[in-house]
Amino acid sequence: MTDPSKDDAPLFELFRGLRDQVVVVVAGFADRVVRRVELLVAADRRLRAPSLETVVVSTAAEVLDLASDLLMPPEAVVPDTPRTTPAGPDDPE
């Protein structure tokens, strides 16, 4: 605390009751805080890291896609449609 000025002194005296007030916090408060923290951390992990099941399913789908591409006969492959450029106002007639 810095040196209280003379303006400060009566208020420090008046507020003493608030400074000395003993607050009884509801039982289990810290447990609830830690439980909330644990839930948040668990939810964050679930969001950040995909589950093993997700990884296996997505890898299996990619392998199946690749296999079907490889097994497809060449004539079944549709060539890319040539990209047409829309005529703009500057195009010569």
Partner 1 sequence: MTLDADILLVHRALKRDVDGRSAFHQLVVAHQAWLVRYLTHLLGRQSDAEDLAQEVFVRAYLALDKYHGLGSFRGWIRTIATRLAFNQRRDAATRRRYEDLAPPPAGPDPVDLGLVERQAVLMVLDDLPYAYREILVLRYVEEMSVQDIAQVLDLGGSAAKMRLSRARDRFWEVYSQKVAAPVAEAPQSHGSQP
The binding site for partner 1 (CB under 8 A) comprises 1-2, 7-8, 11-12, 14-26, 29-34, 36-38, 40-41
- Measured CA to CA, the distance from residue 17 to residue 32 in angstroms comes to 29
Instruction: In angstroms, give the least distance from the CB of 34 to partner 1.
Output: 5
**Given the structure tokens 């805080």, which residue do they identify?**
33
Instruction: In angstroms, give the least distance from the CB of 8 to partner 1.
Output: 7
In terms of CB distance, is 33 or 72 closer to partner 1?
33
Give the residue among 24, 29, 4, 25 at the shortest CA–CA distance from 16: 4
